[in-house]
Amino acid sequence: MAAATNGEGEPITAINVTPLVDIILVVLIIFMATAPLIQKRVLKVDVPKAAHHERAATEAIQIVLKADREIVVAGQKLSQQELVDKMTRLSKNEPDMHVTLSADKTIPYGEVVAFLDGLRGAGVRKIGLEVVRK
């Protein structure tokens, strides 16, 4: 098997990195162009901080949004207007109130966002979305 030579009979022992640098620059430009788009999809999560680095359970009002659009708050069925009125009263008394929302996976994303918007309009600032690990 013959080795490649550079024209003077000497073997080529160096690697040409120019194509590698070109590819890396193109990938860098793509990442720079798409980074602002990725950032806009990130949700702000307000994680409570604990002293002594222990996870402390936070008391939260649990709201369940069922598949049939029924709203259950602490075992009590409410309409959306009743929920907004109740959350408005509670948020005035306790501004740092925590709420967890469990919504059925069959409910469209837009309806969940509208529901969250109603809670935010009632003065609730700390809302957690409850998910189940598989």
Residue 28 lies in a domain: no
- Answer yes or no: is pLDDT of 41 > 80: no
The range of the structural domain enclosing residue 99 comes to 58-129
- Answer yes or no: is pLDDT of 120 > 50: yes
Residue with tokens 């002594």: 52
At 105, the pLDDT band (50, 70, 90 cuts) reads confident
CATH number of the domain to which 85 belongs: 3.30.420.270
Which tens digits make up the pLDDT trace of 48-66?
454 554 444 567 888 888 8
Residue 90 lies in a domain: yes
* Per-residue pLDDT, 61: 84
Residue 5 lies in a domain: no
On the CB side of 65, CA atoms within 13 Å amount to 24
* Per-residue pLDDT, 49: 53
For residues 64-72, give the mean pLDDT.
85
Counting the structural domains of the chain, the total is: 1
* Per-residue pLDDT, 25: 96
* Per-residue pLDDT, 47: 43
Report whether 103 contacts 112 (CB < 8 A).
yes
- Classify residue 115 by burial, with Cβ atoms within 10 Å: 0-12, 13-18, 19+: buried
At 36, the pLDDT band (50, 70, 90 cuts) reads confident
Residue 96 lies in a domain: yes
Residue 4 lies in a domain: no
- Answer yes or no: is pLDDT of 39 > 70: no
* SS3 of residue 63 by DSSP: strand
* Per-residue pLDDT, 132: 55
Residue 93 lies in a domain: yes
* Per-residue pLDDT, 66: 84
Residue 123 lies in a domain: yes
Residue 32 lies in a domain: no
At 30, the pLDDT band (50, 70, 90 cuts) reads very high
